[in-house]
Amino acid sequence: MARIAIDMDGVMADSTQQYINWYAARYGVQVEKASLLGKPETTGFPLEGVVRQFLYTPGFFRTKPVIPGSQEVIKALQEKHDVFIVSAAMEFPQSLSEKLAWLEDHFPFISWHNIVFCGYKNIVDADYMIDDHIKNLSTFKGEPLLFTAPHNVHVEGYKRVNTWEEVGALLL
Amino acid sequence: MARIAIDMDGVMADSTQQYINWYAARYGVQVEKASLLGKPETTGFPLEGVVRQFLYTPGFFRTKPVIPGSQEVIKALQEKHDVFIVSAAMEFPQSLSEKLAWLEDHFPFISWHNIVFCGYKNIVDADYMIDDHIKNLSTFKGEPLLFTAPHNVHVEGYKRVNTWEEVGALLL
């Protein structure tokens, strides 16, 4: 049994799709996901800066789509491993209650005991960390796994998991 | 420089005084702190069970008194060490925003990067953990420091700090 720390945004919750959805609903332009590849998160949209503001808007975190496969694989991981959800939620205080409600909705099998909302993730003691940001993975003492997201496609030097199926193949 | 994980309730925030204050305001009986010594937390009040309900009541966590010395000593600890606030806030979801606002009010010098709201604290990697509950300290791999609270006065087998002055003497 290993302890696995799993990030929310960009790993369980589809942040990129939510940026695209909210941008289309507010500015009438449907941005192609492919056009965001390799660009820093929240950038690459016609109007610069507005997507960053979504992060401070009530409802943004609450309504993110679920990344396919995450529910099934995390449920299976829980049966074999010690699974913690570790989200850097403190930067956006209004996201705390929204993220908790989102987890209850989509991952009701995860106990509150195993949820961590933090800032720096260097305080996390685990065997594996699945995250889409190297700022979180770079200080991790266990084995980091970079979950592929549009903003990190050009990142090198980390073991990568592209889908939840790949996570399952590795850890189940 | 050491990494120090500091609990909120019963260590920075005076939970016992808040139980007494809220009980007096609602039931008209001023319970003596000395009468609670050695009794499990939230018990020992004339009406059993009502103090436990305070934990689910909006405003309870937001208005807790600050434990004397905590502000000065934590500020000084920060200048010498890597300080994280680690609170098992997930059990009471309404407490998340209240605890964050309380920290901003009374400990404005603590960055959101260094705040952790969790369930199980066994995920915390630090050199010291200051906590009033052995359920949090017992799985800790670093050096646990039991912060004295009325409910834990009979607990043995842990290095104890009775006041923030004692914490300062030990770690500054």
Return the pLDDT at B97: 93
Q: Are A117 and B116 a contacting pair at CB < 8 A?
A: yes
Task: Return phi, psi of residue B115, to 5°.
Answer: -110, 135
Q: Would you place residue B140 in the very low, low, confident or very high pLDDT band (cuts 50, 70, 90)? A: very high
Whether B115 and chain A come into contact, CB under 8 Å, resolves to yes
Given the structure tokens 């903003």, which residue do they identify? A151
Distance between CA atoms of residues A120 and A89, nearest Å: 10
Beta carbons of A7 and A87 less than 8 angstroms apart? yes
**Interface subset of B 34-93, CB within 8 angstroms of A:** 84, 86, 90-91, 93
Cα dihedral B27, B29, B33, B38, rounded to 10, equals -70
A 10 A CB-CB count for B157 gives 10
Chain A, nearest residue to B110 by Cα: A119
Q: Are A118 and B115 a contacting pair at CB < 8 A?
A: yes
Q: Would you place residue B143 in the very low, low, confident or very high pLDDT band (cuts 50, 70, 90)? A: very high
Helices (H) and strands (E) in chain B, counts: 6, 6
Q: Give B86 to chain A, closest Cα distance, Å.
A: 9
Q: What is the pLDDT of residues A62-106, one digit of tens each?
A: 999 999 999 999 999 999 999 999 999 999 988 999 999 999 999
Distance between CA atoms of residues B14 and B21, nearest Å: 11
Handedness of CA A136, A142, A147, A148 (dihedral sign): positive
On chain A, the residues whose CB falls within 8 A of the CB of B86 are 123
Per cent of chain B over pLDDT 90 is 99
Report the interhelical angle of B70-80 vs B164-171 (nearest 10°): 20
Please tell me what DSSP assigns to residue B37: T
Q: Would you place residue B62 in the very low, low, confident or very high pLDDT band (cuts 50, 70, 90)? A: very high
Q: Would you place residue B41 in the very low, low, confident or very high pLDDT band (cuts 50, 70, 90)? A: very high
Distance between alpha carbon B157 and the CA centroid of its chain, in Å? 20
**Interface subset of A 128-147, CB within 8 angstroms of B:** 141
**CB-side neighbour CA atoms (13 Å) of A162:** 2
CATH of segment(s) B3-14+64-171: 3.40.50.1000
Given the structure tokens 């016992």, which residue do they identify? B16
Return the pLDDT at B141: 95
Return the pLDDT at B109: 98
Return the pLDDT at B108: 98
Tokens of A25: 């609903």
Distance between CA atoms of residues A61 and A9, nearest Å: 9
Best mutation site among B1, B82, B112 for testing chain A: the one with the most A CBs within 10 Å? Answer: B112
Of B3, B91, B111, the CB nearest to A112: B91
Q: Are A123 and B84 a contacting pair at CB < 8 A?
A: yes
Distance between CA atoms of residues B11 and B86, nearest Å: 11
Please tell me what DSSP assigns to residue A116: E
Return the pLDDT at A70: 98
Q: What is the pLDDT of residues B68-96, one digit of tens each?
A: 999 999 999 999 999 999 999 999 988 99
ipTM: 0.95
Beta carbons of A84 and A114 less than 8 angstroms apart? yes
Q: Are A123 and B91 a contacting pair at CB < 8 A?
A: no
Mean pLDDT of chain B: 97
Beta carbons of B52 and B72 less than 8 angstroms apart? no
Distance between CA atoms of residues B155 and A79, nearest Å: 35
Return the pLDDT at A139: 95
Q: Which residues of chain A have pLDDT under 70?
A: none
- Per-domain residue ranges of chain B: 3-14+64-171, 16-54
Return the pLDDT at B164: 98
Return the pLDDT at A1: 95
Return the pLDDT at A32: 97
Q: Give A118 to chain B, closest Cα distance, Å.
A: 4
Q: Would you place residue B142 in the very low, low, confident or very high pLDDT band (cuts 50, 70, 90)? A: very high
Chain B, nearest residue to A85 by Cα: B118
On chain A, the residues whose CB falls within 8 A of the CB of B5 are 123
